[in-house]
Amino acid sequence: MRVSKLRTILMAGAVALLGGAGARPALAQALQVAVDASPAGLDPHIITAFASFQIVNGTIYESLTSVDKDLRVVPGLAESWAVSPDGKTYTFKLRSGVTFHNGAPMQAADVVASLERVRSKDIASPLASRLAAVDAITAADDATVTLTLKEPSAPLLAGLSSIAVVPRGFLADKDGLQRQPVGTGPFKFKEWQPNGFIDLTRHEGYWTKGEPKVESVRFNIVPESATRQVGVASGQYAILPNIDAATALQLKGRPNVQLAQTLELAYSLIGFNTSKPPFDNAKVRQAVSFALNRKEIIDAALFGSGVPGGPISPALTAWAVNVDRFPCYKTDPAKAKALIAEAGVPAPIKATMLVLPRQDIKDMAQVVQQQLKSVGIDLELKIPELGQFIQDWRNSNFDVFASTNAGAVDPDDYLYRTFRSGGSTNVFKYANPEVDKLLDEGRVSTQPEARKAAYDRVQTILACDGPAAFLAYGQLFSAVRNGVKEFEIMPNRSLGSLARTTAAGR
């Protein structure tokens, strides 16, 4: 009896071993990706967090236009488009042979429904501002969509790249796509085990023939940074996408692990409340900029992996003004003190700085605190929990804050809502008529040179006189196992290149 039981156990073990060995080749086809945070939801029109965005953007969902790795707008689900001479009518020709994951063909009606959904007050999509200029959306036929604008809109095409096309029928449905996303992308949603993983499988009817190259992608949710590092070093995970400098530094030089990097669109900043003293005074804000040593901040908080920048990411080479042209970027404590004296505010200046509870921002805040102390600005750091931070930030309940801002492919998108008076994320309560006028110009002008001139001027004003001291643009890293090919890191953190990625072995 006892012997037979033992034998059964041994056999079960052997079967399990064999089963494990047999399953290997199939596993090789599943691309194991490790991400740090569980997404709150996957509805592309509702999500705001990177944790959600990186799982759906370009993988499950696609948009009319797309952005390549040099941040240029290229065709997406629209294979071409035409703009009327007055810049107020856009006609999109849809790609043929595109199907949704539910098998239905993608047609103009779906595109119209998706854009209407984003505009709907009921859905309250954070992307709605990207369609602010749109007056009407119509389907001329099954393969043609026409957007009529109230006024010309230069950033429209870039803005469309972030608006996913979903099947019609979700117009009034706020919850359906959060757990069961349906798109046209190379991968379709399969399973979500909360806190465990999200599985995507190959979309057989994908319109680019031969893609995706792998059978499936598994996003493992691994909150602990050390665990992710070990996982990629040992080969359990093939890709750690969008990791920070601290994690990347620890993986540098590990055998079989490569690091890919790019300059981020997102940046760190110190924001001022311009509705109350002392930071309502532009001289005090300038003094802060003169007091800062951005190189020191980058060395201390980003391990040297970053560059100083102005309001627009240096990654956007066509738009960004070189920081050498901003006078206040030259560290000059004497000048800072002189400006504070000139401003006539009582010294020393005492203020509270609200700090985003994220490691690199907390580190930066401490360096900034030290640097400003030397010119007579005493900052008390307040590092609340995330929910509290968002609430205080949203309600402009701060003297100064340290945080990060996502940036965007077209300068209009976030410059307008962040720095235009009355802009939806203008928590600084900043109002500068000249900036307003320039931002309005940049928005409606369709002349690239005129836009460039307007945004150059905006950047110069904002850099020194504006409501924020722009600190740094960090390097964004991805760790990739040897044998994983064609994975590309994107400045906007999209993982769309997973469609072309191949993995040899483990």
Partner 1 sequence: MPLKLLRVRLMDLVIVLFGVSVITFLLIRLVPGDAVAIMLGANTEVTPDRIAELRARIGLDQPMPVQYVHWISGVLRGDLGNSLWTGRPVAAEIGQHIWPTLQLATLSLVLGAGLAVPLGVLMARLRGGVWDSAMQMGSVVGLTIPSFWLGIMMILTLSAFAPELQMLGYVPFFEDPLGNLSRLVLPAVALALPILASLARVVRSAMLDALQQDYVRTARAKGVPERLILFKHALRNALIPFVTNVGILTGYLLGGAIVVEQVFAVPGLGRLLLGAIAERNYPLLQATILVVTFVFVLVNFVVDLLYAFIDPRVGS
The contact set with partner 1 (CB under 8 A) reads 12-13, 16-17, 19-20, 38, 40-41, 48-49, 121, 124-129, 175, 178-179, 193-197, 220-224, 226-227, 230-231, 233-236, 384-391, 393-394, 417, 424-425
Nearer to partner 1, 206 or 393 (CB): 393
Q: Which is nearer to partner 1, 6 or 386 (CB)?
A: 386
Residue number, 41 or 212, with CB nearest to partner 1: 41
Instruction: Measure Cα distances from 169 to 104, 177, 434 in Å.
Output: 12, 11, 44
DSSP assignments along 317-385, one per residue? TTTPPPGGG-GGGS--HHHHHHHHHHHT--SSEEEEEEE-SSHHHHHHHHHHHHHHHTTTEEEEEE---
Minimum CB separation of residue 192 from partner 1 in Å reads 9
Cβ proximity to partner 1: between 264 and 332 the closer is: 264
* Segment (H or E) for 199: strand 197-202
Residue ranges with strand state E in 36-76: 65-67, 73-75
Nearer to partner 1, 393 or 428 (CB): 393
**Is the backbone peptide bond immediately before 25 cis, with ω within 30 degrees of 0?**
no
With beta carbons less than 8 A apart as the criterion, state whether 315 and 262 touch: yes
Q: Which helix (H) or strand (E) holds 261?
A: strand 257-263
> Cα angle vertex 502, ends 478, 215, to 5°?
115
Q: Is 36 helix (H, G, I), strand (E, B) or coil?
A: coil
Give the shortest CB-396-to-partner 1 separation in angstroms: 12
Helix axes of 433-444 and 448-465: crossing angle, nearest 10 degrees: 150
Least separation in angstroms between residue 79's CB and partner 1 is 30
**Cβ at position 235, least distance to partner 1 in Å:** 6
Q: Compute the half-sphere exposure of residue 200: CA atoms within 13 Å on the CB side of its CA.
A: 35
CB of 354 to partner 1, least distance (A): 12
Please report how close the Cβ of residue 242 comes to partner 1 at its closest, in angstroms: 18
Beta carbon of residue 154, minimum distance to partner 1 (angstroms, whole number): 21
Nearer to partner 1, 32 or 262 (CB): 32
Tell me the closest approach of the beta carbon of residue 131 to partner 1, in angstroms. 11
CB of 155 to partner 1, least distance (A): 16
Fill in the amino acid letter for 502.
T
33 vs 321, which CB is nearer to partner 1?
33
Distance CA 404, CA 364 (A): 11
Angle subtended by helix axes 359-373 and 294-301, to nearest 10: 140
Q: Which is nearer to partner 1, 43 or 441 (CB)?
A: 43
Instruction: Give me Rg for the CA atoms of the chain.
Output: 25
The contacts of residue 465 (CB under 8 Å, 6+ apart) are: 282, 285, 286, 432
The nearer residue to partner 1, 140 or 226, going by C-beta atoms, is 226
